[in-house]
Structure formats: C-alpha cells, structure tokens
Amino acid sequence: MSTTILQRPPGLAAAPLGKFVAWLTAKNTLAAGTILGLLILFVGFAAPYLYPVDPYAINPTHALEAPSAAFPLGTDELGRDELALLLSGGLATLIVSLPAAILAFFVGVAYGLASGLGPAWLDKILMRLLDAILALPSLIILIFFASLVTLNNTSLILLLGFISWPSLARLVRNETLAQKNRDFVLATEQLGAGKFYIARVHLLRVMAPILVVNGTFMVGDAIFALSALSFLGLGVQPPQVSWGSLLESGLDIIALNPWWLILPPGLLVFGSLLAASLTGQGLLAKFGGTR
C-alpha cells in the first residue's frame, strides 16, 4: 500500500476537473466520503420512519407513473411507490452487505495472520488455496454457489463474506511477513511473548491503517457484489427488493423509457461505492505517512 497513487500528477490542478479532483483528494476526501456514507446508512435504517409508505402496496391504476407530488420518484409497472421501494431495498442491501464485509474482514485478517506467522508449510498450503480461489472470477463463484443454496439473508452474508476476503488475506499475510522480522518484533519475542501476543499488540497496530482502509473498501465491494447478484436474480429474493433487483426490473421495460426506475437505484449503488472509496482513500491519505 503506498500513498503515491493518491498524489495528483502535476498539471492536473490547472483544469477545473483537476481542481475538483485536487479538492477531493485533499483533506476533504475523508469528510466527503464519511458524510455520504453516513447519509446512506441513516436513510437506509431510518427509512420506515422517514417515509412511512408501504413499498409493496400494489396500485395498478397508477402503474408506471413518472415522478409527481403523490409519488416523488414515480411508480413501477405494478404501481408500487418507487421511493418506498428504494428505501426498503437500501435497508435490504445494507443488512446483508455490512455483515458480509465484517465477516470477510475478520476471516481475511485471521487467515493472513495465520499464514504469515505460522510455520512455513502452513503458509504454503494456505497460500496455494488462496491462489486457487483467486484464480476463479469471484462473480462466477458467487453465481455457482448462489445457484446451489437457498437464498436468504444468512446464506447471502456467508456467500458474500466468502468471496471478498482473499485479497485482504493476501495483503495481511504479506504485511505480516514484512513486519514480523522488524527489530521491535524480534525484541518482543526475546521477552518471551507468544505469536498471539505479537499479532495482537504489535502487528495489528502497525497494520491498523491498512486494515481500516481496506475494511472500508470491502463494504463497497460487498454492496457492489450483492447488487450484481440481485441484478442477476440471485441476490435478495422477491418479494423483498434490493437496489440491484430494482435496477433489473427497470431495465426489463427500458423500451418504455422509465428513467425514474433505472437512474435512482443505479445512482444509489454508485453513491455507496463512492462513499466507501472516498472514505478509504481519505483514511489512506491520513494514515499513509505514519507507517
């Protein structure tokens, strides 16, 4: 992990877009990402109170209406209120992707530490296994397993959690290898400390910036993966909607040009990814210098 990727190339600053990028990549990245992220979280979880409209109330007389005062974001082909659907879909998306990201985070850290600190043979086995998993595109694995199991929140959390940990595990393993022979770790070993102590007190603390940054990115990845699965019909199952499935149903009738059914879910997925990415990059810029 290096911070150099965040430095803007010289000359960019002169252009208006460059100025915007410079503004974003300066200290404001973190603020912008955090605010956007918190906003999405707040709206997702407070939805039933903010906009108490039943998302599943079918109303054929108002099918496919464009946004109006009665329906702020219009209705779908069944006459359901699109805003209510989006809010409900957001909650469904978040309650699966956040636990999935957390699960993946802990699995990745534990796997990486075990591989980096364990004996050489264990490292070899764990890393070859990781290579095997990484060799297959994660979406293919997802689709394969999603077609095998009954899809509910628990199985989705496990599925999504399972596919996004390998890259973090590899990162943690490499970082562990780089850190474990530093003098301060050797000095602690000399004091009689065990591997768990070294991992907990020294390695995790030194790696904290990397972990925080990548943890943030993983939330974005999980949201994206879930939306992709739902889009393919393998994610959150009907009648419950999610951003991915809403986008898919809008695209089904794209011939009728229902832009209010396509743009909002797409923008929300994009917004969550942006929030996670900005927060991550902001944290990286903040901690990057103090390794």
Partner 1 sequence: MTPVLKLENLSVALPRGGAMVSILDNLNLTVNAGEMLGLVGESGSGKTIAALSVMRLLPPRARITGHAWLDGQDLTALDERAMRKVRGRGVGMVFQNPLSALNPSKTVAAQIAESYRVHNNVSGTAARTRAKELLGEVGIVNPGGKMDDYPHQFSGGMRQRVMIAMALSCAPKLLIADEPTTGLDPLIARQIMALITRLRAEHDMGVLFVTHDLSVVEEHADSIHVLYAGKSVEWGTSKAFFEHPRHPYSEALLGSVARVGQARLQNIFGNLPEPESRPPGCRFAPRCRYRQPDCDLAYPPPDSSAGTTAACLYPLAATARATYAEPDHRRAYTPGPAQLEIQNLEVRYTSTATFLRPASTLPPALADVALTLGRGECLGIVGESGSGKSTLGRAVLQMISYSGDIILDGQSFATLRGAEKRNLRKKIQVVFQDPRESLNPRIKIGDIIAEPLRLAGKTSNLRDQVATLLNRVGLNPEMAEKLPGGVSGGQAQRIAIARALAAEPELIVLDEPTSSLDVSTQAMLLNLLKDLAVDTGLSYILISHDFAVVSYMADRIAVLNAGRIVEMNDTAALISAPQHDYTRALLGAAPQLRDLAKMSASATII
Residues engaged in binding partner 1 (CB under 8 A): 182-184, 186-193, 197, 201-202, 205-206, 208, 290-291
Q: Find how far residue 8's CA is from the centre of its chain.
A: 25
Residue 158 or 177 having the CB closest to partner 1: 177
What letter represents residue 285's amino acid? A
User: What are 81's strand-pairing partners?
Assistant: 75
Q: Is 277 exposed, middle or buried (0-12, 13-18, 19+ CB in 10 A)?
A: middle
Residue 69 or 183 having the CB closest to partner 1: 183
Rounded to a whole number of angstroms, the minimum distance from the CB of residue 206 to partner 1 is 6
Rounded to a whole number of angstroms, the minimum distance from the CB of residue 120 to partner 1 is 9
Rounded to a whole number of angstroms, the minimum distance from the CB of residue 291 to partner 1 is 8
3-state class of 257 per DSSP?
coil
For residue 36, what are the contacts with CB-CB under 8 A and spacing of at least 6? Answer: 271, 274, 275, 278
Residue 197 or 259 having the CB closest to partner 1: 197
Residue 42 or 196 having the CB closest to partner 1: 196
What letter represents residue 286's amino acid? K
Rounded to a whole number of angstroms, the minimum distance from the CB of residue 269 to partner 1 is 36
What letter represents residue 100's amino acid? A
The CA distances from residue 153 to 44, 146, 156, 237, in Å, are 16, 12, 5, 9
Residue 265 or 288 having the CB closest to partner 1: 288
* CB burial string 41-70: b at 16+ within 10 A, e below: bebbeebeeebebebeeeeeebeebeeeee
Rounded to a whole number of angstroms, the minimum distance from the CB of residue 50 to partner 1 is 41
59-68 contact pairs (CB < 8 A, 24+): 64/253, 64/256, 64/258, 66/260, 67/260
Residue 20 or 182 having the CB closest to partner 1: 182
Rounded to a whole number of angstroms, the minimum distance from the CB of residue 192 to partner 1 is 4
Residue 8 or 205 having the CB closest to partner 1: 205
Query: Which position has the token pair 């996670």?
Result: 276
Rounded to a whole number of angstroms, the minimum distance from the CB of residue 186 to partner 1 is 6
